[in-house]
Amino acid sequence: MPKSIHSTQPPLKFISPHFNPLVLKTVSWFLPLILWVRTRPWLPAGIVKIEAKNAEILAKLYQELQAGKIRFLIAFRHPEVEDPLSMLYLLSRIVPKVAREKGIPLEYPVHSHFMYERGMTLWAGNWLGWLFSYVGGVPVRRGRRVDRNAIQMARDLFANAKMPIAIAPEGGINAHSGIVSPLEPGVAQLGFWCVEDLQKANREETVVIVPIGIKYSYVNPPCSKIGWLLSKLEADSGLPVVGINPTGKKLEEVLCQRILNLAEYLITEMDEFYRRFYHRDLPVIPAKETDKPNDILITRLDRLMDTALQVCEQYFNVQPQGDFIDRCRRLEKAGWNYIYRDKIADINSLPPFKGGLADWVAEEADLRMQHMRIAERFLAVTANYIQDKPTAERFAETALLMFDMFSRIKDSTLPGRQRLGLKQAMFTYGKPISVSESGRCVKVINRLIEGS
């Protein structure tokens, strides 16, 4: 497996937001071209259609915000890497258009500040941090118990900025349009803090959180491309490559069985990998009469994820606390502390011997973190995700998760995802949640958090 980190890295500095309306307008102008280019045959397929149901709800919220009546936070689903483009299209195109049609006066810009994971700039490049800074982004380092710079900035923007702030409560991409990952508490906490900040300033705005769902679907079901991707994975696994439905069964049944066969292969191989090279005791899990094949696979997958995280935790001397998501975040923090040395002001000033040791630690930390990255990709997997609703989208999502794992192991730590077809996005809105009505709980919750 190629390693992406070979030496100690300088500290990950906080990228302060410097919102610039001209940069936002420029990006918005080029958005149709960006979306168009992504759908060209010579590039990965992209999004060709973005729609929203009841977008006037969001338009009215912006009107009330601009009138000084409310403060609101957008809590959005985060199923895909394309979400920033979709959200930008929603706010820059759909909401203003609906506002004009409904006679709702809005001031420019109709936009939002947003929080993004600081690690994005590591794989995308420094240009992304610059761009996000000028369009209102606030970087946050996941895994830190308190990222004070990010929290203070988000808290101030929520209470005082001319725009709302948008956050993904799932904490990262979950790669499933049909499943919501366990929510992290940051959104609710920011809501309570905003109520508290307004009370201290004797301001009377109502604080609300607006849930927004994003669901992607393929314009045309890409069954042939899903079959092609499964054939590629079968070939990489050394399994017999299944042709296009040679059995005459329903295509959904064939695709489902091929995915189950690949899942069985992956788990078996990884179990043996950890038994042999990491000396883990992984006995065969006996099947009960009431168990379904999927249930056994999920039990084995959960054990495999736990084993991968244990290997990582033992290296970093991190205690396994919380659920899988909590453990992944803690390990990410530990790994970054080994690689991005905040306590070393100038890495180049280290003596060569100490510098060599630091590079050695950073390189091994990056490799150890791959165990966590593999587990992280499967956090949202459930037993009956495909069988409950055997759609092309769910087949594609599951196949792509396996592709990510194969690529991470055999090719690259940052695989380029396969695109299986043109997609469309649909936004839906939940009922705005008034945090102000729960303001009486703020002091109690803050005391609990401070004491935890």
The residue whose two tokens read 């630091």 is 358
Provide the pLDDT confidence category of residue 3 given band limits of 50, 70 and 90: very low
Q: Which residues of 156-177 are buried (b: 16+ CB within 10 A; e: fewer)?
A: ebbbebebbbbbbbbbbbbbbb
Q: CA-CA-CA-CA torsion for 311, 312, 314, 318, nearest 10 degrees?
A: -140
Which pairs from 364-367 meet CB under 8 Å and 24+ separation?
A: 364/315, 365/5, 365/316, 365/335, 365/338, 365/339, 366/3, 366/4, 366/5, 366/335, 366/339, 366/413, 367/1, 367/3
Maximum separation of any 2 CA atoms in the chain, in Å: 71
- Cα(282)–Cα(264) distance, rounded to whole angstroms? 15
- Cα(196)–Cα(174) distance, rounded to whole angstroms? 32
Provide the pLDDT confidence category of residue 440 given band limits of 50, 70 and 90: very low
Amino acid, res. 126: N
Q: Which of 38-47, 90-99, 202-211, 336-345 has the lowest mean pLDDT?
A: 38-47
Q: In the chain, where are the structural domains located?
A: 21-219+426-451, 223-420
- Cα(5)–Cα(359) distance, rounded to whole angstroms? 9
- Cα(419)–Cα(427) distance, rounded to whole angstroms? 21
The answer for residues whose C-beta is within 8 angstroms of residue 119's C-beta and 6 or more apart is: 141, 142, 332, 336
- Cα(154)–Cα(140) distance, rounded to whole angstroms? 10
CA Rg value for the chain: 24
pLDDT at 80 over 90: no
Instruction: Please tell me whether the peptide bond between 109 and the residue prior to it is cis, using omega within 30 degrees of 0.
Output: yes
Provide the pLDDT confidence category of residue 144 given band limits of 50, 70 and 90: low
Q: Does residue 137 contact residue 115 with C-beta atoms inside 8 Å?
A: yes
SS3 235: helix
Q: For residue range 264-286, list pLDDT tens digits in order.
A: 899 999 999 999 999 998 888 77
CATH of domain 21-219+426-451: 3.40.1130
Q: Among candidates 393, 394, 374, 377, which has minimal Cα distance to 385?
A: 394
**Which of 15-19, 60-64, 360-364 has maximum average pLDDT?**
60-64
- The pTM (predicted TM-score) of the whole model is 0.85
Q: By CB neighbour count within 10 A (0-12 exposed, 13-18 middle, 19+ buried), where does 427 fall? A: buried
Q: CA-CA-CA-CA torsion for 85, 88, 92, 96, nearest 10 degrees?
A: 110
- Cα(414)–Cα(116) distance, rounded to whole angstroms? 18
The residue whose two tokens read 């109690």 is 444
Provide the pLDDT confidence category of residue 58 given band limits of 50, 70 and 90: very high
Q: Which of 129-133, 278-282, 292-296, 318-322 has the lowest mean pLDDT?
A: 292-296
- Cα(73)–Cα(209) distance, rounded to whole angstroms? 5
Provide the pLDDT confidence category of residue 43 given band limits of 50, 70 and 90: low
- Cα(113)–Cα(163) distance, rounded to whole angstroms? 7
Q: Which two tokens stand for residue 4?
A: 């992406």
The DSSP line for 223-281 is HHHHHHHHHHHHHHHTPPPP-SSTT-S-HHHHHHHHHHHHHHHHHHHHHHHHHHHH---
Instruction: Count the neighbouring beta carbons within 10 Å of the beta carbon of residue 376.
Output: 23
Q: Does residue 135 contact residue 24 with C-beta atoms inside 8 Å?
A: yes
Phi, psi of 72 (to 5 degrees): -140, 155
Provide the pLDDT confidence category of residue 445 given band limits of 50, 70 and 90: very low
Q: For residue range 91-123, list pLDDT tens digits in order.
A: 999 999 999 999 999 999 999 999 998 888 877
The residue whose two tokens read 């489902």 is 256
Q: Does residue 146 contact residue 153 with C-beta atoms inside 8 Å?
A: no
Find the mean pLDDT for residues 427-434: 89
Q: For residue range 303-314, list pLDDT tens digits in order.
A: 999 999 999 999
